[in-house]
Amino acid sequence: MSKNEYLKATLEWEGKKAQFEGSPEEVWKSINKFLIETNPQIVSLLDFLIKVNVVELLTKLKGIAYVDKDVGPVISVDADIGKLNDTERIVFFLLIKKTAYMTKHSDKETMDVDEVKKESKAKNAGVLLSQLTAEKIVQNMAEAGKKGAYRITDYGTQWFISKVLKKLQSEIE
């Protein structure tokens, strides 16, 4: 574990105090356990929250997409993204961009309309991004008056994994 991956946190609640140390994932799990033990009603809240586990996501994408340290996101030649409709391809490329960002191989997790259009080959990318934004699958992160900067939401990631990923995995297996 590198120094950047080490986290130390202290949490106090109703007179109980705990310190947590380790990787971000270990600390997150420990804090959740502490909160559940301190207040069992919080369990329903934790189940309600969408959580994206980077390691699990990368495992699910294995054989479909990779992040190359030199060129960034790479789609496997074995993955037939032609099976995906325009909407699914847009979400796929936003997800790949997010994985590159999460693994520190991209300085941003967003793509503008032109980038989305170029990567996904969706002629109506702008319209579809607006629809996906309304559905909360995608979020426009641009400041008011600026060109759109779209990223996939955690809900969008969950949607892609549950509704679309199996189309690509069947090719690889």
Do 31 and 16 share a structural domain? yes
Do 147 and 109 share a structural domain? yes
Do 155 and 73 share a structural domain? yes
| pLDDT beyond 70 at 172 | no
Q: What percent helix, strand, coil does the chain show, rounded to 5? A: 50, 15, 30
Do 73 and 112 share a structural domain? yes
Query: What pLDDT is attached to residue 1?
Result: 45
Q: What is the dihedral of CA 20, 26, 31, 37, to 10 degrees?
A: -110
Enter the DSSP assignment of 75: E
| pLDDT beyond 70 at 171 | no
pLDDT tens digit sequence for 25-36: 888 888 878 877
Do 137 and 84 share a structural domain? yes
Do 123 and 41 share a structural domain? no
pLDDT tens digit sequence for 126-165: 999 999 999 999 999 987 777 889 999 999 999 999 999 9
Query: What pLDDT is attached to residue 5?
Result: 75
Nearest CA to 115 among 147, 146, 139? 147
Do 160 and 137 share a structural domain? yes
Do 126 and 102 share a structural domain? yes
- Enter the tokens of residue 34: 């502490």
Q: Which pTM does this prediction carry?
A: 0.71
Do 44 and 58 share a structural domain? no
Q: How many domains does the chain have?
A: 2
Q: How confident is the model at residue 104 (pLDDT cuts 50, 70, 90)?
A: confident
Query: What pLDDT is attached to residue 120?
Result: 93
Evaluate whether 125 touches 116 at the Cβ level (below 8 Å). Answer: yes
Do 134 and 82 share a structural domain? yes
Task: Give the residue numbers spanning the domain of 37.
Answer: 3-48
